[in-house]
Structure formats: C-alpha cells, structure tokens
Amino acid sequence: MADDIILAGITTCDTVRKAQRWLENHGIVYTFLDLRSDAFVRHTLGEWMEQVDWSDLLNKRSTTWRNLDDDEREDLDEARAMSLMMKHPTLIKRPILHYGDIIEIGYSPDRYEELLTN
C-alpha cells in the first residue's frame, strides 16, 4: 500500500504540512510530489483530470487566481484550466492524495482515516 501513496502539494503550504504530519503519525509511507518541481508534468495533471473534474482542482480562492488578468480567468474550459495550472502550480488545490484510483483533494483527517486505515 505505501508505495502507491503520493501526496502532492507545495512545501510551504500549511495544509500540506498537516497532511504530511497525519501520514507520518500514522506510520504511512508516501512519496511527496512538489507541484513546483520538474517531476510534476502535464501527464500527472492530465491523469488527475481524467478522474476528477478540472473545476475541483482549480483553486479560485488563491492569491494567484486573484492576481491573474481578467482575460485569463474568463471563458475557462478544461484545456485553458490545465494550461493555467501548469503555468501557476499554486492554482491547484492542495494537498492531493493519490492512492490507487483515488484522488482526494484537500485534507481531512477523518477522510484520510477512512481511506488509509481500514
């Protein structure tokens, strides 16, 4: 099980750190994928977008979103959203827990418990 778990996020994000602490406190081994790293490629985002709606991945409450030009925020479709998230990884909601065919967006201790300790 442990080899299959990927936690994706940004190292400076407090919520990502909470998720990391939860996993570590429960003895769950995971691989951390920094959304800002070269290892995060269009392929990975594409896989996630096949399993969850792109609008669930796009963080419209982020400072990055608010700082975008109006023309970048208008008339979004899947391709444009993917392009924006690749250009600005902080537009991706985080953390993302990828376990098998499960893509869990955000952090909830109860949800992690349900997914990972049963």
Active site residues: 13
Asked if residues 62 and 91 have their Cβ atoms less than 8 Å apart, the reply is yes
Beta bridge partners of 108: none
Q: 41 in helix, strand or coil? A: coil
Q: Which two tokens stand for residue 80?
A: 């444009």
User: For 78-98, what is the HEC assignment?
Assistant: HHHHHHHHHHCHHHECCCEEE
DSSP code of 28?
Answer: -
